[in-house]
């Protein structure tokens, strides 16, 4: 018998958690773990959690409740909680759910192997520090196994913006950027393993200011230009950006950098200046619209995406209508929208709340408008030629699935393309969730 142990990781929340889950799996690889898709087969279950909205946090506790039966069957099973709920709740998690063996905050993943060892001798392990060292650097080098053609790479973490509704500055800490040379090394490693598209990640990715090669600090645009020179890397994306950090060089790169894809996620949250002010966003609806104009001047076909919160404390009908007006003015290709969720410890939590049925109604109306825009943008792709990076086989024999430069899902029937191939495709029709294309 080998002493291979199985690790099951369930990931909630944003792409940064997806990236972190991969790195945690690799870190625990050194302790003899391989990943499994089945919680029943696992020797360790890790929930990599999100704290952004109330429902996200509550999901963690109900999932932990469901794991009780598994743990009863298999007392050696170790259960860990990582991510933003771990950071926010810390030891409280173990108090509320004693079956939890390990709680690790997002800045302490490099300490995971040592923590796992402690759980093996029956101890509980808790670490929610914000250590000085770069956790990614302290994690062992990424293994060389081949991997999917599109990958995430975290370049910046944390946030200093303190929007009045948001827990991220508390769960992820202050803004920190990784040095450019480490990112470039990691990108080259990813390319060697078959990666052709990299999405640079950060809670405020365009606030990136990591130490550059040759001294001084680099902007995100400088980093993107350096990645543009990496042979074998074909596509670069980044997310999530803040409107106040869209530097001139980044806007310009959208028009001139060949590998930077024409897609930008630029959350605005609200179209009402009164609400934006109360949200502590430090931009106005007008400054956002002006910014969009400049971005579109640099890259006219760019697909824009956003985030919206409805029902923020004290939001009136007029405030909400201002948000709808802004959406009409921008014409989004994609957007995420949420009902405001009270987060304990954030400034907005103390303010007069909007009635739930009012917020629900606003969310419905906003989502209908976004769906309409999204569909129109998608439909306008019909007849156009796009490039598709094929990521996986489709549901039918011979069908291949991939993403266009605009991040639309595209499927091609009877395709000779292989996973990882980049090809020219003509869009022939637009469906609910994807576009159909033909190879050129």
Q: Which of 21, 108, 171, 337 binds ligand F3S (CB under 6 A)?
A: 171
Q: Which of 13, 83, 169, 313 binds ligand SF4 (CB under 6 A)?
A: 169
- How far, CA to CA in Å, does 67 sit from each of 45, 71, 86, 208? 9, 6, 17, 39
82 binds ligand F3S (CB under 6 A): no
Both tokens of residue 394? Answer: 């489709």
**Residues in 35-94 at the binding interface with ligand SAH, rule: CB under 6 A:** 52-53
- How far, CA to CA in Å, does 256 sit from each of 197, 227, 299, 371? 18, 14, 9, 30
Q: Which of 6, 21, 83, 94 binds ligand F3S (CB under 6 A)?
A: 83
Both tokens of residue 337? Answer: 């929208």
Q: Which of 166, 266, 302, 359 binds ligand SF4 (CB under 6 A)?
A: 166
Closer CB to ligand F3S, residue 85 or residue 257? 85
86 binds ligand F3S (CB under 6 A): no
Nearest-angstrom CA–CA distance, 406 and 260: 11
242 binds ligand SAH (CB under 6 A): yes
- Report the sign of the C-alpha dihedral through residues 262, 224, 255, 324, in that order: positive
Q: Which of 159, 191, 250, 253 binds ligand SF4 (CB under 6 A)?
A: 159
Closer CB to ligand SF4, residue 242 or residue 403? 242
> Which of ligand F3S, ligand SAH, ligand SF4, none is residue 61 near (CB under 5 to 8 Å by kind)?
none
Total number of residues that touch ligand F3S (CB under 6 A) = 14
User: Does 163 belong to an annotated binding site?
Assistant: yes
343 binds ligand SAH (CB under 6 A): yes
Q: Which of 7, 8, 17, 295 binds ligand F3S (CB under 6 A)?
A: 17
Q: Which of 46, 50, 42, 76 is nearest to 64 (CA)?
A: 46
- Is the CB of residue 115 less than 8 Å from the CB of residue 102? yes
Nearest-angstrom CA–CA distance, 73 and 417: 46
Query: What is the chain's length?
Result: 440
Return the beta strands (E) in 324-384 as ranges: 334-339
Q: How many CA atoms lie within 13 A of 419 on its CB side?
A: 11
Closer CB to ligand SAH, residue 311 or residue 437? 311
Closer CB to ligand F3S, residue 172 or residue 242? 172
CB of 338 to ligand SF4, least distance (A): 11
The stretch near ligand F3S (CB under 6 A) out of 165-173, 175-183, 254-262, 330-338 is 165-173
User: Does 159 belong to an annotated binding site?
Assistant: yes
**Residues in 148-207 at the binding interface with ligand SAH, rule: CB under 6 A:** 165-166, 168, 203-204
> Which of ligand SF4, ligand SAH, ligand F3S, none is residue 338 near (CB under 5 to 8 Å by kind)?
ligand SAH
> Which of ligand SAH, ligand SF4, ligand F3S, none is residue 171 near (CB under 5 to 8 Å by kind)?
ligand F3S
- Report the sign of the C-alpha dihedral through residues 105, 109, 113, 114, in that order: negative
The stretch near ligand F3S (CB under 6 A) out of 46-54, 118-126, 250-258, 299-307 is 46-54
- Is the CB of residue 211 less than 8 Å from the CB of residue 166? no
**Residues in 321-340 at the binding interface with ligand SAH, rule: CB under 6 A:** 338, 340
> Which of ligand SF4, ligand F3S, ligand SAH, none is residue 162 near (CB under 5 to 8 Å by kind)?
ligand SF4
299 binds ligand F3S (CB under 6 A): no
What is the three-state SS of 378-434? HHCCCCCEEEEEEEEECCCCCCEEEEECCCCEEEECCCCCCCCCEEEEEEEEECCCC
251 binds ligand SAH (CB under 6 A): no
* CB neighbour class for 82 (10 Å; exposed up to 12, middle 13-18, buried from 19): buried
User: Does 257 belong to an annotated binding site?
Assistant: no
What is the three-state SS of 108-157? CHHHHHHHHHHHHCCCCEEECCCCCCCHHHHCCCCCCCCCCCEEEEECEE
265 binds ligand F3S (CB under 6 A): no
Q: Which of 45, 52, 102, 381 binds ligand F3S (CB under 6 A)?
A: 52
- Is the CB of residue 184 less than 8 Å from the CB of residue 233? no
Helix (H) / strand (E) element for 346: namely none
What are the strands of the beta sheet with 125-127, ordered from one edge?
Answer: 33-35, 5-11, 44-49, 78-82, 102-104, 125-127
CB of 194 to ligand SF4, least distance (A): 31
The annotated binding site for [4Fe-4S] cluster is made up of: 14, 50, 84, 159, 163, 166
Q: What residues line the site for ligand SAH (CB under 6 A)?
A: 52-53, 165-166, 168, 203-204, 240, 242, 267, 269, 307, 309, 338, 340-341, 343
User: Residues interacting with ligand SF4, by CB under 6 A?
Assistant: 159, 161-163, 166, 168-169, 203-204, 242
């Amino acid at each position: 018998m080998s002493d291979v142990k199985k690790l099951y990781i369930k990931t909630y929340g944003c792409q940064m958690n997806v990236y972190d889950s991969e790195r945690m799996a690799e870190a625990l690889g050194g302790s003899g773990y391989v990943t499994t898709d089945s919680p029943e087969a696992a020797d360790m279950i890790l929930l990599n959690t999100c704290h952004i909205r109330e429902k996200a946090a509550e999901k963690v506790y109900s999932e932990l409740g469901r794991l009780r039966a598994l743990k009863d069957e298999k007392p050696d099973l170790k259960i860990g909680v990582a991510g933003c709920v771990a950071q926010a709740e810390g030891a409280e998690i173990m108090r509320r759910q004693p079956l939890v063996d390990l709680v690790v905050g997002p800045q302490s993943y490099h300490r995971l192997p040592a923590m796992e060892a402690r759980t093996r001798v029956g101890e509980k392990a808790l670490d929610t520090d914000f250590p000085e060292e770069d956790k990614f650097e302290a994690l062992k080098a990424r293994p060389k196994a081949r991997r999917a053609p599109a990958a995430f790479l975290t370049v910046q973490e944390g946030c200093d913006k303190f929007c009045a509704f948001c827990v991220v500055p508390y769960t992820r800490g202050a803004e920190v950027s990784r040095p450019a040379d480490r990112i470039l090394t990691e990108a080259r490693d990813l390319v060697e393993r078959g990666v052709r598209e990299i999405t640079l990640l950060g809670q405020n990715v365009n606030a990136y200011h990591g130490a550059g090669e040759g001294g001084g600090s680099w902007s995100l645009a400088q980093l993107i230009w350096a990645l543009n020179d990496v042979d074998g890397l074909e596509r670069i994306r980044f997310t999530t950006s803040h409107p106040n950090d869209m530097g001139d060089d980044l806007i310009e790169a959208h028009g001139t950098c060949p590998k930077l894809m024409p897609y930008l996620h630029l959350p605005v949250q609200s179209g009402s200046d009164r609400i934006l002010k109360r949200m502590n966003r430090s931009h106005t609806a007008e400054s956002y619209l002006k910014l969009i104009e400049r971005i579109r001047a640099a890259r006219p076909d760019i697909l824009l995406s956003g985030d919206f919160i409805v029902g923020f404390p004290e939001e009136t009908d007029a405030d909400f209508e201002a948000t709808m007006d802004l959406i009409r003015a921008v014409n989004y290709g994609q957007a995420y929208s949420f009902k405001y969720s009270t987060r304990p410890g954030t400034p907005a939590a103390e303010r007069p709340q909007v009635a739930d049925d009012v917020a629900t109604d606003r969310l419905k109306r906003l989502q209908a408008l976004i769906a309409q825009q999204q569909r129109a943008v998608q439909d306008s792709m019909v007849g156009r030629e796009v490039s598709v990076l094929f990521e996986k086989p489709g549901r039918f024999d011979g069908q291949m699935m991939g993403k266009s430069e605009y991040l639309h899902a595209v499927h091609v029937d009877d395709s000779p393309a292989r996973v990882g191939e980049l090809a020219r495709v003509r869009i022939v029709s637009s469906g609910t969730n994807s576009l159909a294309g033909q190879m050129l």
